Structure 1
C-alpha cells in the first residue's frame, strides 16, 4: 500500500463526480471496469446500464454537484476497499414561466471495491448507501453576467485554454 495508490483511487472518485456533473458519460465509464457492478438505488447492474440510467435521470437536471469527502481507503495488493461520503445537489430545469426550481439534496456514501488491473485503479463494485434525500424549492439569484456551470463540454473546465 502506497500513498500513490490511495491518491490514484481518490482521483477516480473525483473524476467520477466531475463526469456525472458535466454529463461526460464516456468519462463516467472510464471510472469503472467493463465487468463492474453498480448498486445505485433504483438501478443495479453493469456500467453500461448505469450510464443509460443516468442519461434518463439527468435529462431534466440543469445543475448537478457531487461533493466527495471523508475518503477512507484500505489497500491490499491489487484490491482496495473504499468508503467515501457524497453530497449530491440536483436542480431540476425550470418549468414554464415558474422561476422556482426543485433542488434535491441527497446524502449518501459510496462503498466501493477498487481493483488495479494492468496498472490502473478503477471501480470493480459499488454500492451507494443512501442516508437522506430531501427536496426544496429554490430560486437562482445569481447575476446573469456571472460565469455559470454547464452540464456539457461547453463548461469552462473543458473550454478554458491553459
Structure 2
C-alpha cells in the first residue's frame, strides 16, 4: 500500500464516523475506534463503548445532526501510526417543543486531534481529543417542504436503502 492509500483509508474512517453519528448508527461509530482507544470528548473521557453510550444519551433530543470533517492533516509516524488533525463543524438541531415552530440549533466548531493506528491491516482511531473552539445556539425555523425526502437518524435514512 502507498501512503496515498493509507491517507485515503484514514480520511474514510473520519467520514464514516461523521455519518455514523449523524445517522445514530452506534455499531458504525464503534467500528471507527479500536476497543482500547481513549476519547476525550467534552464532558466524556473513556473508551469507544462508553462514547457510544454517551452519544446515545446526549443525542436523544437532537432531531437533526450534521458533522462536516475538513482540513485533514496526516503526519505518519512509521508504517502503522499517524497523528491526524481535522477540523469539524457540527450542526445539532434540538427537537421542537410541542406546537413550537422554532428550534434551537447548536453550531460547534472543533478539531479532532487523533492518533490513528493500523492493526491487522485496518486503520482506526487509537486515541482522540476533541479540541473545542466555539459553541453557540441559534434559533431556526425549518422551512423545508414536507414532501421532500428528509434525513432520518436511523436505518430508514435513504443512505441505507
- TM-score by length of structure 2 reads 0.97
The residue aligned with 1:26 is 27
Structure 1 residues not aligned, in runs of 5+: none
In the alignment, the residues of structure 1 paired with residue 39 and residue 109 of structure 2 have an alpha-carbon distance, to the nearest angstrom, of: 18
Alignment pair present for 1:109 and 2:111: yes
Shift of 1:75: 1.4
Alignment pair present for 1:14 and 2:1: no
* Count of aligned pairs between the two proteins: 159
List, as ranges, runs of 4+ consecutive aligned residues in structure 1 with deviation greater than 3 Å: none
2:139 to 132, 137, 141: 137
In the alignment, the residues of structure 2 paired with residue 51 and residue 68 of structure 1 have an alpha-carbon distance, to the nearest angstrom, of: 19
SS in structure 2 of the partner of residue 17 of structure 1: helix
Shift of 1:22: 0.0
SS in structure 1 of the partner of residue 42 of structure 2: coil
- TM-score by length of structure 1 reads 0.97
The residue aligned with 2:58 is 57
Shift of 1:62: 0.3
Structure 2 residues not aligned, in runs of 5+: none
